Amino acid sequence: MLRSQRIRKQGPEIDALRMGMDWQAEDLDKMQLVIASTYGNGHPGSFHLNKYVDLLKKSLEEKGVMGSRMTTSDICDGIAQGHDGMNYSLASREMIANMVEIQAMAAPYDGVALLSSCDKSVPAHLMALLRLNLPGIHIPGGAMAPGPDGLTLEMIGAYSAQLERGEITEAEFKQYQYSACPSCGACQFMGTASTMQLMSEALGLALPGAALIPSTSPALAEMAVTAGEYLIKLVKKGIKPEQIVTKKSFLNAIMVHAAIGGSSNALLHLPAIAHELGIEIKLAEFDEIHRKIPFIANIKTSGQYPTHYFWYAGGLPAVLTELKEYLYLDQLTVTGQTLGENLAQLAEFSYLKYMQTEAPAELPERRKIIYPAAEPLNKAGSLAVLKGNLAPLGAVIKHSAVDPAMHQFIGKARVFDNEEAALAAVLNGEIVSGDAVIIRYEGPKGSGMPEMFYTSEAIASDPVLNTSTALITDGRYSGATRGPAIGHVSPEAVDGGPIALVEENDLIEIDIPARRLNIIGFAGQKKTAAEIDAELAARKANWQQPKPKFNRGTLGLYVRHAVPAAQGAYLGLE
């Protein structure tokens, strides 16, 4: 018996209340699904989703299935940038997941379709799907089209820094602003939104080729309808997420992450998603996999092209095909078939035909967008996990977006307790070659773990600083971040991690090939390991933990209960 029908018998008011809407008596006996989306008017990643929600609902009704629309909208990290709104970003992931759980469990439903596009909404939906463990499917909201001459949103940060330095005019900057986002969908580079759409597909929770469909393409609507058909099959067969997602599924996703040059924020999201099924994902596993998987996606910001081109070049199925020898192809997916079986039967998914029939005339040769694994852009993935006395639990850097000159670096610490002060110092010319900018008290418990995007972009857009200055934080970065930016330093400052003990002119060593991040001296002078340990112990003895910045509401809850970034920064209530 369907879950909806079993619970319906327990609550005599349920039928009465549903008849107060647009239900008919015969609808009460039908399969009942939640259609949860992040539709809202907040940003272009969610603005268009209601169109696909309505389309899916109509398609389900034609098949004798009732779909109930539920909405918990998301925020946009781009709109939250540069002000205190960014503190809410990571916490919003938890709240969206919680609301989907509430909506799906407080009423009798048999399965769930989840429509989302962006940075926090996609991981939130995947967390909710695994937590609910109802038959379900994720429907990615697609990718935004690029602007004129390949203009993409992450370039606006660099143009803003150029405007501040007087390198472009206000009129030129406005022109870039007004034309960077010509359509709805996820931003056009391999940031967190694009990465997490691809992670959903790699985990087997979205249909083949569903991630990053151009939002302007009819393929998106066709995929959404097809997803509804597969969801009905999942409910009838009783296939739940716990049967689809395993540790091997996550290892597949991490392999994909390495190959696509994915956002460093996936190192927060994948462990948090895995936690919902009691699966542990360690930072060391990301590093180990990135060392052996080739980086093959020539997509901004580590590469040349917008995500629009990625899908037309074959999308994730093309990447998976190149990675076949590495992947666990026996993992089940929402099609009811394995990953390997899906790759062998791509012709069954009719919406994929648009990769050929609708490809832009200016599309480069496909192998220049998704490289052969045998001839990669880089033989060793795109990301590294660094450890040392500055980050005993680890720190993260996207080395594929770092100039090779900065892969080994020793610099003098310039210490800031918030991003605003650091950004002002960079823009005012106070940061010079050889500096290691430290921004602390911005971790999950410190400030909710906001992004340091503007500071990283101010450094990356300066041709001198980009190859001679490092940025290190217990906060995080935008998925669009490029340049020598190290984030997720753990333990964080508010917990008394070593980053809280750094002082002006301490010597900081970065060694990406050796995976090291260390304090190696004080006052500009190198010291022995014993001398460093003694000095850090003395500083720790004098350190006082600051009071929480937030004492009520969402952030008050989050900063008190968030687990370390190295574990996923989810709300730890166990």
Report DSSP letters for 114-175, one per residue: EEE-STTHHHHHHHHHHHHTSSEEEEE--BPPP-GGG--TTHHHHHHHHHHTTSS-HHHHHH
Q: How far is CA 469 from CA 402, 433, 466, in A?
A: 11, 5, 6
Cis geometry, peptide bond prior to residue 491 (ω within 30 degrees of 0) = yes
Catalytic residue (choose from 68, 217, 478, 490): 478
Per DSSP, the residues of 447-462 read HS--B-HHHHHHHHTS
Q: Which residues contact 420 (CB under 8 A, 6 or more apart)?
A: none
CA separation for the pair 252, 289 (Å, rounded): 10
Burial letters for 194-233: b for 16+ Cβ neighbours within 10 Å, e otherwise?
A: bbbbbbbbbbbbbbbbbbbbbbbbebbbbbbbbbbebbbe
Strand partners, 135: none
Catalytic (active site) residue 68: no
Number of H helices, E strands in the chain: 23, 13
With 0-12 / 13-18 / 19 or more C-beta atoms within 10 angstroms meaning exposed / middle / buried, residue 513 is: exposed
Name the burial class of residue 325, with classes exposed (0-12), middle (13-18) and buried (19+) by CB atoms within 10 angstroms of its CB.
exposed
What the block records as the tokens of 244 is 């689809």
User: How far is 55 from 460, CA to CA, in rounded Å?
Assistant: 43
Residues 388 and 514: their CA atoms lie apart, in Å, by 11
Helix (H, G, I), strand (E, B) or coil at 440: coil
- Please give the Cα distance from 198 to 206 (Å, whole number): 9
What is the Cα–Cα distance from 86 to 182, expressed in whole angstroms?
24
Residue 222 parent element (H or E): helix 218-237
Instruction: Describe the crossing of helices 218-237 and 49-62 by its angle, rounded to 10 degrees.
Output: 50
> Catalytic positions, please?
478
